[in-house]
Every structure is written in C-alpha cells, then in structure tokens.
C-alpha cells in the first residue's frame, strides 16, 4: 500500500479542502485492488451521484421550468463549462436538435479547456475571466435568455465570470456545483448543489461529480422539453425521418399513438415529409 494514510482528508497546507479535492476514506486502499475490486468500489461510490441528483430534484425542476419558459418565448439557453463540465455540456446540447426538433440556435455552449472540444471552445484556460463575458456580450445575451454555469469546484474563474456577466445583462442565471457553500452557487440568480463528496481517485471530478452533472443536465433538458410540449405520451413528438433509423422510429411513434395499421402510418408520414408532429396533427393528436 502506498501513500501516507495518516493525513486527514480535509486538511492541506493551505487549510481545509473542498469535498471534491478531499481524499475518500473508502478508497485509501485503491492501489491494492485488482480490476474487479476497483470496479466494485466505484459501483458502490457511484450511488452518491444518484443520491445527490435526487436531493436536488426540486431545484432541477425549477431550472427546467425556466428553460422551458425561455425556449417557448423564443429565448436562448447558454451552458458554460470548463474541462469535463464543458464537454458534458457539449454532449448534452449536441443531442437536443435531433431529439426534439430544435433549431441549433436555441441551445449554445461556451467552454474552456486545454483539449479540443469543437467550435464551442472560446478559450484554452479555465482561468480566463474575460472570455465568457466577451462572448456573451457578442451574442447579445440578455433578459430573454437563460445562462447556466457548471463547475464541480464552484470556483472556476471562466464559469463564475460568465454567470456574473450574464446576470448583469439581465439573463436568468444558475450555477451548478458539487461543493457546498462554493461561490458559483450564489453568483447568479439560482444555485443547484450536487453534493457528491470526495472522489474514488482524489480530485478526479470526471467521476462522481461529472456523472451527477450529466444526470442533472439530462433532467433539466428533458423535463423542459416535456413541459414545453415536445413529447407525446412517452415519445419524441418532433422527430423527422431524415434517415432509415429515424424513419423506423417515426413509424413506431405514429403507430403507437394512433393505433393505425402500417400502411396508413407510412402513407401519412410520406404525405407529411416524415414529420411525426405533422402526421399526428392531421390525426388530431398533436398541436
């Protein structure tokens, strides 16, 4: 076994560490485990990510409603993140247009990170305090928009400066962080704590903290789209059959909702350019 296990997990040379940087007492022996032992330990610890998201259900619902109202009113939603948080935001936003038939102009990501993350990267360092405010101002972000910042530590300068700037521009702003009492939770109009605690691998917030952030984003965007009228029963309403896979999905959705036979479903979709919403509107099942 390696390392000094007598060091208190909450103490460093500069004072108390935030939970995401503390050592996890359950994983002091991590370096002695075989691969199965590592996996089983991570399985046990990962439950904390689910618990943290569950504890924040009410707050996540509030954010989702704000996002739904914003989108329905023609506003934009901007996600700010650095490193893992930025990549998670990119992944979330990339799936929204094909899933919910959204214009790619509605959801945006502003990210910081040393590794390439696509066109949304606007600075190479998370310590840059000018990049996010400049980009938000250039996009004309204002009172019609929602800006959400994600940072496990809750102290990332790139994210904090963006949330502060968006708040001053009149947007509704929300900070999502994994450490209690961290500044990002109070920099904007609203804060959501995902209290995941210390990681199995000390400081590696791509683990529980990142998992909880991805789960939170799933809930925010999906709930927003449901209450925003983009779901029928438990189906995607705004699917368009632009390829073979999506045409099969469109056929199943219209069949499930209407109970029509396959021939009528196909004919109706073909007559409506494979738009599920248009096909169901003709059937009196969608607005």
The beta strands (E) that lie in the chain are given as: 11-12, 15-16, 77-82, 107-112, 121-123, 146-151, 172-177, 190-193, 231-232, 235-236
- Examine the residue annotation and report whether 126 is marked as an active-site residue of this protein: yes
Q: Catalytic: which of 21, 45, 92, 126?
A: 126
Q: What is the SS3 assignment for 128?
A: coil
**Length reported for the chain:** 287
Residue 21 annotated as catalytic: no
Q: Which two tokens mark 177?
A: 């962080």
Q: What's the farthest any 2 CA atoms get from each other in the chain?
A: 72
- Cα atoms found within 13 Å of the Cα of residue 49, Cβ hemisphere only: 21
Give the 3-state secondary structure of residue 270: helix
Catalytic residue among 95, 105, 130, 199: 95
CA 63/CA 148 separation, integer angstroms: 9
Which residues form the catalytic set? 95, 126
């Amino acid at each position: 076994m390696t390392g000094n296990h007598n060091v208190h997990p909450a103490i460093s040379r500069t004072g108390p560490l935030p939970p995401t940087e503390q050592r996890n007492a359950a994983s002091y022996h991590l370096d002695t485990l075989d691969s199965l032992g590592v996996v089983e330990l991570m399985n046990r610890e990962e439950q904390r990510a689910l618990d943290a998201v569950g504890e924040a259900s009410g707050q996540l619902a509030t954010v989702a409603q704000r996002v739904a109202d914003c989108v329905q009113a023609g506003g934009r939603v901007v996600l700010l993140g650095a490193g893992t948080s930025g990549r998670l935001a990119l992944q979330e936003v990339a799936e929204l247009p094909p899933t919910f038939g959204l214009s790619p102009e509605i959801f945006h990501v502003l990210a910081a990170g040393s590794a390439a993350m696509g066109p949304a990267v606007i600075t190479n360092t998370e310590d840059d305090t000018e990049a996010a405010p400049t980009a938000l101002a250039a996009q004309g972000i204002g009172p019609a928009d929602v800006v959400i910042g994600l940072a496990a530590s809750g102290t990332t300068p790139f994210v904090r400066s963006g949330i502060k700037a968006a708040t001053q521009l009149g947007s509704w702003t929300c900070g999502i962080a994994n450490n209690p009492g961290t500044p990002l939770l109070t920099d904007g109009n609203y804060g959501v704590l995902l209290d995941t605690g210390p990681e199995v691998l000390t400081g590696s917030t791509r683990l529980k903290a990142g998992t909880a952030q991805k789960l939170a984003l799933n809930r925010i965007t999906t709930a927003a789209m449901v209450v925003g009228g983009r779901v029928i029963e438990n189906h995607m309403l705004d699917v368009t059959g632009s390829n073979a896979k999506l045409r099969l999905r469109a056929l199943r959705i219209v069949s499930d909702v209407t109970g029509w036979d396959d021939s009528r479903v196909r004919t109706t979709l073909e007559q409506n350019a494979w738009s599920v919403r248009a096909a169901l509107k003709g059937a009196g099942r969608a607005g």
